[in-house]
A and B are shown apart, each in its own frame.
Chain A
């Protein structure tokens, strides 16, 4: 089922909207022109994950060594801080835990999410 989220101008880069759709709501994000839609439900404990901070994450090649990466592409759940990849919905620490994602595209100037 196709859901019209909003006009493209209403979701500028760096912003998000929570749609009253799906079982828990759907968060739509604009990252530098790329659009992502995720269920507003954290697989860890049911938090409204789409309300969390958009940030980056770290990886390491050994003790005390940390590189910052994927800035703007990580959603941190507001309840317990779990990191989720905005594009795939996968948890960074536990990749089998996934936030459900939805296909999203632009049609005639409208952002459309497929449920």
Chain B
């Protein structure tokens, strides 16, 4: 092969599609001889010490929307055990975790939630962004009911691509990673619309969904469209008692993504206002990805916004985090 294409990652045997131009995870976050993000001690040093973060909520990914339902569930069960036994024990004050479940297997998903709900460091349930049905649909309701009962938020994050998902767009296959990466996480809006339109938030007061893959910068333009449709279409879904935008503060949160917001940092203060960052946004590091973002990214946010994004919103959302550790 000749340059420049010879410089791109060569397709593997199992799936290639849209490889990122470099590795997904940074070697900066790998211990010697190990994989990025595989060492609790290193994570502790890099995030808790060097980046001055007080507490971390770990969200491990699984292998995607696997057609083998039992396999997908077993991977969740194993991941939760592994997280508890090899990570959460490392620091019982500052490491927190997510309960992975397989939404396609509701009975066993509920079992997993029940198994870990009272663990002092498990603060949320985690599901893939990918799904064969939007998450507001009725087969998933018992799962969210269980999560809400335990006051555990449900975090949604794009999972690995090992499964048989519908993908990547409704207008065909783009070619370059550039076209794919920017729009893929925005599919959260389909889940959000579904949760609103099927009355899930209306019925479950304590249910909060955390869209952990970014996308808050697309939220309001999309909600405005949904709101203006809701008014004439009210009689079709009369169980949607509030206008869609009114569900956001009580039921939806977002994690920050490095690739979001205006490119000009001088526009960021207004931007934080426009996206209601103070109420909806939580800082996320994306460790150990190359898309790692340090809390410094919020340095020039207005004080009240920064305080909420960097800590207060998470503390309010995850009571097990406890009081913030005062920093000298």
Query: Which A residues form the contact surface with B (CB < 8 A)?
Result: 44, 57-60, 62-66, 77, 80-83, 92-94
A-B contact pairs, 21 of them (CB 8 A): A57-B235, A57-B238, A60-B238, A62-B199, A62-B239, A63-B138, A63-B141, A63-B202, A63-B203, A64-B198, A65-B239, A66-B238, A66-B239, A80-B232, A81-B233, A82-B231, A82-B232, A92-B235, A93-B230, A93-B231, A94-B231
Q: Annotate B218-247 by CB proximity to A: 1 below 8 A, 0 otherwise.
A: 000000000000111111101101000000
The answer for the CA separation of A60 and B202 in the assembled complex, in Å, is: 11
The answer for the CA separation of A92 and B238 in the assembled complex, in Å, is: 11
The answer for the CA separation of A86 and B72 in the assembled complex, in Å, is: 55
The answer for the CA separation of A66 and B238 in the assembled complex, in Å, is: 7
Residue ID in chain B nearest A56 by CB atoms: B235
A65 contact set on B, CB distance < 8 A? 239
Q: Is B281 on the interface with A (CB-CB < 8 A)? A: no
Q: Annotate B177-208 by CB proximity to A: 1 below 8 A, 0 otherwise.
A: 00000000000000000000011101100000
The answer on a CB contact under 8 Å between A63 and B239 is yes
The answer for the CA separation of A64 and B199 in the assembled complex, in Å, is: 8
B198 contact set on A, CB distance < 8 A? 63-64
The answer on a CB contact under 8 Å between A92 and B234 is yes
The answer on a CB contact under 8 Å between B138 and A59 is no
Query: Which B residues form the contact surface with A (CB < 8 A)?
Result: 138, 141, 198-200, 202-203, 230-236, 238-239, 241
The answer for the CA separation of A63 and B202 in the assembled complex, in Å, is: 8
- The listed residue with most A CB atoms (<10 A of its CB), out of B199, B203, B231, is B231
The answer on a CB contact under 8 Å between A63 and B234 is no
The answer for the CA separation of A38 and B228 in the assembled complex, in Å, is: 24
The answer for the CA separation of A82 and B234 in the assembled complex, in Å, is: 9
The answer on a CB contact under 8 Å between A58 and B238 is yes
Residue ID in chain B nearest A83 by CB atoms: B235
A92 contact set on B, CB distance < 8 A? 234-235
B236 contact set on A, CB distance < 8 A? 58
A83 contact set on B, CB distance < 8 A? 234-235
B241 contact set on A, CB distance < 8 A? 60
The answer for the CA separation of A94 and B241 in the assembled complex, in Å, is: 11
The answer for the CA separation of A82 and B199 in the assembled complex, in Å, is: 21
A58 contact set on B, CB distance < 8 A? 235-236, 238
A60 contact set on B, CB distance < 8 A? 199, 238-239, 241
The answer for the CA separation of A83 and B232 in the assembled complex, in Å, is: 7
A64 contact set on B, CB distance < 8 A? 138, 198-199, 239
B199 contact set on A, CB distance < 8 A? 60, 62-64
The answer on a CB contact under 8 Å between A81 and B202 is no
The answer for the CA separation of A59 and B199 in the assembled complex, in Å, is: 13
Closest 4 CB pairs of A and B: A81-B232, A63-B199, A60-B238, A60-B239
A82 contact set on B, CB distance < 8 A? 231-232
Residue ID in chain A nearest B230 by CB atoms: A93
